[in-house]
Amino acid sequence: MTLRLRVLPFSLQDTMECGQFFRFTRSGETYIVQSSGRIFSLWQRGETLFSEGVEEAFLIQFFRLDEDLDPILREIDQDSIIHQAIQDYRGLRLIRQDPWECLVSYLCSSAKSIPQIRSIIEGLCKSSGRKVQFGNFIGYEFPESLCHASSSYLESIGAGFRTQYLIQANRCIDRDQLRAFRKLHYLEAREKLMRIPGVGKKVADCVLLYSLDFLEAFPMDTWIKKGLQRTYFRGKKMGEKRMEQYVSRHFGPFAGYAQLYLYHFWRRHPITP
């Protein structure tokens, strides 16, 4: 059965391909997505989002469709650069990921390109064994636990030094504990996440923003750093601390959305120093 939803503003392509989420494959105009134990397809025509294999309520929480995007964009629209990004990618939305899947994904992300991250994650999923089919597409479910993944297996799929992060994180945290962080204040939740081996500021902020509804989190990756330095600080060297304070004050409580737009923008218009 095909589901149709009218959504405005919404850009499926930017939302899927901006780098926040890894578990999808695209064929033509259609995306096959795996998240939270589901597998479903998505495509967009004009203002209508079509979907098969998933219920409406899930899509609404997945794409945060219950959140009115326009007022948020108005609020972060504080300068000409973000203004440009908003013009270009209006409808780019934050995806609400499963916290465990999100943590594991971003633990794999350090010093890896997106295709490499995806390949590690796919390897992990294959090891969990549970095969799922959707039309002609064969996928594998995200492992609930990494207890059965040996370190030699993790290395064989290219996890490298992230192997120990995965094994130790798996030992010390689970999905329910991650969910419980929602109740905390941002800095407190961040500090607790950073006690997990392999989780520093950047990964913590990704988990907070992409899966735990902390919209003030602003993951400082190298693209964003370069972009901020070049464009907002005229090439002047800035400490990371000052940059954090700046974006938090400049963009306010929805800074995470600003990060999403700027990141996407700078990846498409690479910074050449």
Q: Which residues bind DNA (CB under 7 A)?
A: 19-20, 109-114, 116, 155, 158, 160-162, 164, 194, 196-204, 219-223, 237, 239-242, 263, 267
Q: Which residues contact 188 (CB under 8 A, 6 or more apart)?
A: none
Cα 238 to Cα 96: distance, rounded to the nearest angstrom: 31
- Read off φ and ψ for residue 266, nearest 5 degrees: -75, -25
Judge contact between 235 and 229, C-beta under 8 A: yes
Please choose, from the candidates 103, 149, 151, 159, the residue with its C-alpha nearest in 3D space to the C-alpha of residue 126: 149
Distance (Å, whole) CA 165 – CA 172: 11
**Structure-derived torsion over alpha carbons of residues 145, 96, 17, 225, reported in degrees to the nearest 10:** -90
Element housing 121 (H / E) = helix 114-128
Q: Minimal distance in Å, beta carbon 199 to DNA?
A: 6
Distance CA 58, CA 186 (A): 25
**14 touches 53 (CB < 8 A):** no
| Residue from 77, 80, 14, 10 nearest 267 by CA | 14
